């Protein structure tokens, strides 16, 4: 079993204060470190930045309830990494298959921007989670911050592997995992990136084609063809 933060983890004082404020403002919402979602022994790990205020922070499930989740979960269902219907609620019955989603920072940051110290502090939990996987084949890093914290979680310098959309990095971890894994970079599936055309549906689909291939599945629209 890996190390999980306490519901009231206060290792990042700024984020703990923000959580206190949100608990006052939105008392019926989740407002706590958001745990990973999916099987405990995934082949594919998807790592985002941090919970969105009205998305994962409200619902308690990564990427659930905000625009980025619509895009991501549709893709997971299309490629057979998820089964069921995504309905923006943690009790929608959606099941992830061979894939798990987590964030580099478990608590919602103000303006969606964690600072370096918060990313570094929360990496301890990310490392512990990754170390518990025995069968990981690929990791999708959604954005530069996820890419950077993943590299450090695997014992490499950020400068060793440059972020680029659809870049593949064959990583031999120096720590955390004792077997190789492929890191796939993707622009984050945020509303901003999709609205501006920085990340199109085809570009995101290409990422999942790569991930499906690395996980030994036929690349292509798995769910649609079954």
> What are the residues binding ligand SF4 (CB under 6 A)?
5, 9, 11-12, 15-16, 33, 105-107, 118, 121-122, 125
The CB-of-188 to ligand SF4 minimum distance in angstroms stands at 18
CB neighbours of residue 226 within 10 Å = 6
User: Using CA atoms, how far apart are residues 79 and 4, in angstroms rounded to an integer?
Assistant: 29
15 vs 72, beta carbon nearer ligand SF4? 15
Q: What does the buried/exposed string (b/e) look like for 100-123 if buried means 16 or more CB atoms within 10 Å of the residue's CB?
A: bbbbbbbbbbeeeebeeebbebbb
CB under 8 Å to 54, separation ≥6 — which residues? 65, 66
The CB-of-121 to ligand SF4 minimum distance in angstroms stands at 4
Q: Are 118 and 15 in contact, with CB atoms under 8 Å apart?
A: yes
103 vs 186, beta carbon nearer ligand SF4? 103
Q: Are 89 and 64 in contact, with CB atoms under 8 Å apart?
A: yes
11 vs 166, beta carbon nearer ligand SF4? 11
The CB-of-209 to ligand SF4 minimum distance in angstroms stands at 32
75 vs 107, beta carbon nearer ligand SF4? 107
The CB-of-15 to ligand SF4 minimum distance in angstroms stands at 5
Own/partner pairs, 167-171, CB within 8 angstroms, 24+ separation: 168/210
72 vs 105, beta carbon nearer ligand SF4? 105
The CB-of-116 to ligand SF4 minimum distance in angstroms stands at 12
């Amino acid at each position: 079993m890996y190390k999980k933060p306490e519901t009231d983890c206060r290792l990042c004082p700024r984020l703990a204060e923000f959580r206190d404020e949100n608990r006052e403002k939105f008392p019926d919402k989740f407002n706590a470190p958001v745990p990973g979602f999916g099987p405990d022994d995934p082949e594919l790990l998807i790592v985002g930045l941090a919970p969105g205020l009205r998305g994962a922070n409200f619902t308690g499930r990564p990427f659930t309830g905000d625009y980025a989740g619509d895009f991501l979960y549709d893709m997971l269902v299309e490629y057979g990494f998820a089964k069921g219907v995504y309905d923006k609620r943690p009790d929608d019955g959606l099941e992830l298959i061979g894939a798990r989603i987590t964030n580099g920072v478990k608590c919602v940051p103000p303006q969606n921007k964690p600072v370096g110290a918060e990313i570094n502090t929360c990496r301890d939990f990310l490392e512990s989670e990754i170390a518990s996987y025995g069968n990981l084949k690929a990791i999708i890093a959604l954005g530069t911050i996820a890419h950077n914290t993943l590299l450090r979680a695997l014992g490499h310098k950020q400068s060793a592997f440059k972020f680029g959309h659809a870049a593949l990095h064959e990583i031999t971890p120096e720590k955390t995992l004792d077997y190789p894994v492929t890191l796939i970079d993707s622009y984050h599936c945020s509303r901003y990136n999709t609205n501006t055309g920085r990340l199109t549906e085809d570009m995101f689909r290409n990422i999942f084609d790569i991930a499906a291939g690395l996980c030994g599945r036929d690349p292509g629209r798995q769910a649609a063809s079954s």
